[in-house]
Chain A
């Protein structure tokens, strides 16, 4: 604390406007000091409070005491939730998110590009027009490797014949959606804890908490997020979480007429999709990013990205 170079401490109530020869003006008066410190302290507290709100218990897992007490804390108003504690409370009929781990498999050799999945997703999840939680791209590749990609209205209205000079030797449809990565760039950088990955492996956005900053939209290497045009929050594929928790499959998988889209659960015994992923040669998108997507593909080529 800066004081005057005096042997006698000055009474706190006495200000030092100019000082004199004996008591020269200090670089910072007590009043100024208190003002400054109050301001700094206030800012510090604000940062701490907000910061703590964001990172609170970031590392606490389901097995920690905190999680347990938290689960007990959950009242009956939230009945019907997934969760260990809740499943116990509700008996075996309850959905237990610790007993599922979803994987998605797309067989591009089967996809016929009808767009039924896109339409189903749109109506199931009330996706705004011209925004897509899942979409289908058409790849047309010629012998020389020349590649053209199109996705008119996300493939929602199907694909028409293309008249072009390109001699297409290889063509396929490439459905895309959120890869529900194990290591999620989008969740990591969410500044308010709105994006998260559920225990059953679904990446979700808490719309009540999202501030619509759009960082996650930029971070997603697969382009599977968008800012909702009216809600102004990040929106994305939820893997039809409301359906999964009721024991239904996703709208897109249910709509696919040729079985090109498949949903699996690696925690289920004898799961068909998990078996394919475990035993056959499947690909993921952009493996170099180490995001470990849970959406696998069959039948892609090097041009597909």
Chain B
């Protein structure tokens, strides 16, 4: 039995190693890791728990039905309210009024879509702003566009 010492030591080392491995593995791997692949499934839940900032379609119409109706009857019917006004999350939170919604009347906002650019589709309505203002006989100002056009229904 004296010679068995070597074996016993080696076996002991292996057993200790295995123990360290099993315990270490238990702590190193997050609970949901590997449920659906080599990733932490809880991460998917974390993504779903984020609250949307932009509203659902028609969310604005719940309170602003008049504006929504004007909008839907005009050329801007495909433009979401939030494109010009910003995300609904800045205005309404938990179904309650939170802060004033910004209303931008600058021609710079209109120019984002309607300034003439070579890369824009030809059929899309676009103008060279300075020429268009001169043609219309208006004075150039910050809110020059809204003098003739209603933002919710630009061509009445």
Contacts and interface: CB of A to CB of B under 8 A. Distances in A.
Interface residues of B, number: 58
Contact of B117 (A49, A159, A242): A159
B54 A53 contact: no
B116 A161 contact: yes
Contacts of A158: 111-113, 115
Given A109-B121, A161-B115, A49 B48 contact: no
Contact of A209 (B6, B34, B43): B43
A41 interface: yes
A61 interface: yes
Interface string B74-86: 0010111011001
How many interface residues does chain A have, given as a range? 35 or more
Interface SS majority for chain B: loop
Among the interface residues B5, B21, B41, B116, which one has the most CB atoms of the partner chain A within 10 A?
B41
Given A110-B121, A113-B119, A171-B119, A58 B34 contact: yes
A249 B30 CA distance: 31
A214 interface: no
Interface stretch (A253-261, A264-272, A281-289): A253-261
Contact of B49 (A41, A80, A195): A80
A58 B53 contact: no
A92 B31 CA distance: 26
A5 B111 CA distance: 93
Contacts of B17: 41, 44-45
Contact of B43 (A109, A206, A246): A206
B38 to A, nearest CB: 4
Interface of B: 3, 5-6, 13, 17, 20-21, 24-25, 28-54, 56-57, 76, 78-80, 82-83, 86-87, 89, 111-113, 115-121, 124
Interface of A: 1, 9, 12, 37-38, 41, 44-46, 48-50, 52-58, 60-62, 66-67, 70-71, 73-74, 78, 80-83, 95, 97, 109-116, 120, 123-124, 138-140, 157-162, 168, 171-173, 193-199, 204, 206-209, 238, 240-243, 245-246, 248-249, 251, 254-255, 257-259
29 contacts: A12-B5, A49-B21, A53-B25, A53-B29, A54-B38, A56-B33, A61-B36, A62-B36, A71-B35, A78-B32, A80-B48, A82-B44, A113-B119, A114-B112, A120-B83, A158-B111, A160-B115, A161-B115, A161-B116, A161-B117, A173-B120, A194-B39, A196-B37, A196-B43, A197-B37, A206-B40, A206-B43, A208-B40, A259-B78
